[in-house]
Amino acid sequence: MRASAARPSRRRVGRLVASLLVAATAFVAQPPLQAEYADVVINNRSEKEGVRPVIFPHWFHRVRFRCKVCHFELGFKMRAGGNDIRMNDISNGRFCGVCHNGDLAWGAERCDLCHSGKPGLTTGIRGGHETMGPGRY
């Protein structure tokens, strides 16, 4: 009797905890961490494939677009180097190529504007409370 009465309420508690966790995750995702300012270096493949590391000026972009445009609608995971971005995808209008298509922003043929990092730079966040932009590292 006791046990069967306790079960549904435990389930309710479980559901409550689950929704609190969802809320907490949403909250944690909200405040901009280091990337609100600064730049993201992406060098998962670039140098191995013979081009310079990519500098993505996060601050420059985030003042122009809402977080959700990139981190929800375009599906960029919020982790430096955490996306498996291929040049082919960009040229086919995915990831950076959603905007860098010669229409909304300059196109994928401007290699040096994205592959602007100095050789040897590793993937991660660089810079402080301002963007340094392409070619500064």
Q: Which residues bind ligand HEC (CB under 6 A)?
A: 32-36, 40, 42-46, 49, 51, 54, 56-58, 60-62, 64-65, 67, 69-71, 74, 76, 78-83, 85-88, 90, 95-96, 98-100, 104-106, 108-111, 113-115, 125, 133-134
Q: Give least dist CB 111 to ligand HEC, A.
A: 3
Decide whether 11 or 79 has the Cβ nearer to ligand HEC: 79
Q: Give least dist CB 42 to ligand HEC, A.
A: 4
3-state helix, strand, coil in the chain (%, to 5): 40, 10, 50
Nearest to 54 by CA among 45, 63, 66: 45
Decide whether 133 or 137 has the Cβ nearer to ligand HEC: 133
Decide whether 8 or 31 has the Cβ nearer to ligand HEC: 31
CA–CA distances in Å: residue 1 to residues 4, 7, 8, 126: 5, 10, 12, 61
Contact criterion met (CB below 8 Å) for 100 and 108: yes
